[in-house]
Amino acid sequence: MSHYLCHEHPEVLSCETRIVASRPGAVLLKESYFYPGGGGQLTDRGTISTQAGSFDVASIEEAGGQFWHVLSQPVELHGDAFVSVDPAFRSLMCQLHTGLHVVNALVFQAFNGALVTGVQMNDDGTARIDFDLHEASNDQLRALEPAINDAIRQDLPVRAVYADAMRLREESGLLRSRSVAPPTQPDGSVRIIEIAGLDQQACGGTHLSSTGQSRPIRILKIDNKGRHNRRVRIGLV
C-alpha cells in the first residue's frame, strides 16, 4: 500500500489535478485525496469536474498499484480536472471508523484480547464489527456502551504513526484481525492508529483527529454468528 494523500493530508478534500489516463467511464488522476476503500470502510464519494461537466465518482478500482476513479457515466475525460471529496460522507466514515476502534479497544481489554473477524461500515450511519468471542454474554457486551460514549466525551486525540517490523513483533495487540493481514507500506512498515490513553492498532482507514468530533454511539444489536463469532452492531445517534 502506498501513502494515500488522504492519510498525509486528511484535512484536504479538493484539489486541481490532471487526468493522466482515461477510458470510457474511468480516469487515472495525477493526484487524488479520495480514500479508495478497504478494511470494511466504503470508498469516498465526490465529484470530478472538467470542461465536459461534473461527474460523480461511483467507485475506485485498483490495478497495478494505480487507482482508477470509476465515474457514474460512461464518459471519457481528458485534461485538467477539479476533484472534490464529499465532506459529509468522509465525516460519516471517520466517525464510524473511529467509533469501531473505541469498541474494539474496550472489547480487547475486557475479554482477554478478543480478535476481530470482520468489519463493515454503512452509509446509513451504522456499522458492525465481529469478534472471535465466546465467553462473553450479550449483556456484558451491551454494558460497554457507557464506556464507549465516555471515550467520545473525553475528546481523546487520535493520530497515525508507522510501526516497523520490530515494533510489530515486540508489542502485542497492535495487530487485531484474526484473518486479514494489515496493509503495509513500501518500506514494510504498518500504519498504526493511536487513541491517546486508550488504544493503538494497525489500520489503513480514515479517522477523526479526536474522539469528541463524533456523535454518540449506541449498541443497536448483538448477534451470535457461530460458536466463536459475536457481531456487535452500532449506530451514530
At 6-22, the pLDDT tens digits run 999 999 999 999 999 99
More confident residue, 66 or 196: 196
- Mean pLDDT throughout 57-67? 92
For range 53-60, the mean pLDDT: 96
pLDDT score, position 226:
76
Q: How far apart are CA 2 and CA 4, in angstroms?
A: 6
Provide, rounded to the nearest whole percent, the portion of the chain with pLDDT above 70. Answer: 99
Amino acid at 61: E
pLDDT in tens, 69-103: 999 999 999 999 999 999 999 999 999 999 999 99
**Helix residue ranges per DSSP H, 79-128:** 87-110
Task: Read off the pLDDT of residues 21-34 as tens digits, 9 standing for 90 and up.
Answer: 999 999 999 999 99
Domain ranges of the chain: 5-85, 90-236
Judging by beta carbons within 10 Å of its beta carbon (0-12, 13-18, 19+), is residue 16 exposed, middle or buried? exposed
Average pLDDT over every residue of 202-215: 96
Q: Which CATH number fits domain 5-85: 2.40.30.130, 3.40.190.10, 2.40.360.20, 1.10.357.140?
A: 2.40.30.130
Topology annotation, domain 90-236: Threonyl-tRNA Synthetase; Chain A, domain 2 (3.30.980)
Percentage, residues of the chain above pLDDT 90: 83
Residue 2 is predicted with a pLDDT of: 53
Farthest CA pair distance, the chain: 59
Please, which pLDDT band fits residue 3 given cuts at 50, 70 and 90?
low
